[in-house]
Amino acid sequence: MSTPQAPNSGTRAATNAATGAPRPPMISTADALATLLAAAQPLAQSETLSTFDALNRVLAVEVVSPLDVPPMNTSAMDGYAVRAADLHQGSRRLPVSQRIPAGHAPQPLAAGTAARIFTGATVPPGADAVVMQEQAEAGDGEVTILHTPKAGEWITAQGADIKKDSVILPVGTRLSPAALGLAASVGCATLTVTRRVKVAVFFTGDELTMPGEPLKPGSIYNSNRFTLTGLLRNLGCDVTDYGIVPDQLDATRATLREAAAQHDLILTSGGVSVGEEDHVRPAVEAEGHIGMWQIAMKPGKPLAFGAVRRGANEAGQAFFIGLPGNPVSSFVTFLLFVRPFLLRLAGVAHVSPRALSLRADFTQTKSDRRNEFLRARVNPAGGLDLFSNQSSAVLTSTVWGDGIIDNPPNHAISAGETVRFIPFTELLY
């Protein structure tokens, strides 16, 4: 995705050599993402939740602070509140005129005195510095100050963090634990967030068996069901999992119709490669429309994008995205395309993952004409190691790695070179 390039459908054979079927256009990762995001309008519906319940949700109404934070000048230390000028005049022994624990309102500080004060307590009017207790010697009703403070020392000024009436969390913010804390710091007990995106997911492939069942000859376990539903839940989606749908046109059409009624997006795994036992494409074509893309990326070439009509009594249509069945392909295409699409539907403003520039501690002599997404991990020296098997069927790479290298088309990698690395922490949530 680092190198946007024009769709190059004109440069490749337009038909599949084996079947003679029309070959979908080959497009770049950047073009595919741009097309998906252009279609994803943020959902209009919102709900108001307790701030406790808003974790990972997306703000639909900005948070404006009704107050300064901190609301008053506070002490940043346990010590003595003083007037700095009193100490500049030489007198280091001061009577202690009051004691101010946190949460108690102080009296104005009498000239020539000190106030015993604690962290978080209100600095009394008239005091302009706090001397930490380690720089003072307490006596009987008095204190000897061993330090000449500057005005403002160890005082957190009113409004130092947040000014009244300022926007502290804009619309489109995903609410992290830190963001909830910030909202709470201005007294926000409720937050208005976009409703959850409703996603239906199903899996195609007569070879698929569920864990817990014996594996028949020719079968494999349905790993994508766990990966994809986990990813959807991490993104805060409301997920309906239809499980394995038989490789049959009628069954696929019926599931699409049912799913379209109640969901914003229908996501499928498998059956979108060219020229194979594939009922997903004709089923979506019969129930709506579909565009097939061959994305110039590795892993993950085929991706289908379209929509399924809703019944006569319901408005509009549900989006449809068909992912390839290969476990690494569906994982990577989800991270690069489905994740930003879903976040945009949820109203998130910034949907691009932040990438790092890191040193490759390996050499990959063979370049690929496609944009490669290589599973890699950061080594103790701060460079990147590559997983030894980059096959799109080898799911181990996705757990071994802690991110993907976005390697542009036609580019070999030499050890020592700086590459674009997207950590999974930027992609899985």
Q: Which residues bind ligand AMP (CB under 6 A)?
A: 203, 205, 207-208, 220, 222-225, 269-271, 273, 276, 324-327
d(CA 158, CA 68): 6
Q: Can you tell me which of 106, 205, 299, 340 binds Mg ion, judged by CB under 5 A?
A: 205
Contact 240, 228 (CB under 8 A): no
- Binding track, positions 256-285, relative to Mg ion; x by CB under 5 A: --------------xx--------------
CB of 207 to ligand AMP, least distance (A): 5
- Nearer to Mg ion by Cβ, of 106 and 302: the residue is 302
Radius of gyration (C-alpha) of the chain in whole angstroms: 30
d(CA 99, CA 106): 8
For the stretch 95-101, contacts whose Cβ atoms lie closer than 8 Å and that sit 24 or more positions apart, written own/partner, are 95/141, 95/142, 96/138, 96/141, 96/142, 96/143, 98/124, 100/75, 100/124
- Binding track, positions 352-371, relative to Mg ion; x by CB under 5 A: --------------------
CB of 268 to ligand AMP, least distance (A): 10
- Nearer to ligand AMP by Cβ, of 204 and 364: the residue is 204
Tracing tokens 């805060």 back to the chain, one arrives at 236
- Nearer to ligand AMP by Cβ, of 323 and 360: the residue is 323
CA quadruple 273, 278, 281, 284: dihedral sign:
negative
Report what 98 binds from Mg ion, ligand AMP, none; CB cut-off 5-8 Å by kind: none
Of 23-31, 45-53, 323-331, 375-383, which part binds Mg ion (CB under 5 A)?
A: 323-331
Report what 324 binds from Mg ion, ligand AMP, none; CB cut-off 5-8 Å by kind: ligand AMP
Tracing tokens 């001397």 back to the chain, one arrives at 131
- Nearer to ligand AMP by Cβ, of 79 and 271: the residue is 271
CB of 278 to ligand AMP, least distance (A): 7
Quickly count: other Cβ atoms within 10 Å of residue 116's Cβ. Answer: 19
CB of 297 to Mg ion, least distance (A): 20
CB of 324 to ligand AMP, least distance (A): 5
CB of 291 to Mg ion, least distance (A): 20
d(CA 302, CA 92): 78
d(CA 5, CA 27): 8
Report what 207 binds from ligand AMP, Mg ion, none; CB cut-off 5-8 Å by kind: ligand AMP
- Nearer to ligand AMP by Cβ, of 80 and 203: the residue is 203
Burial 69-78 (b: 16+ CB within 10 A, else e): bbeebbbebb
CB of 247 to ligand AMP, least distance (A): 9
- Nearer to Mg ion by Cβ, of 290 and 360: the residue is 290
Q: Which of 362, 364, 391 is nearest to 379 (CA)?
A: 362
Per-state percent for the chain, helix, strand, coil, to nearest 5:
20, 30, 45
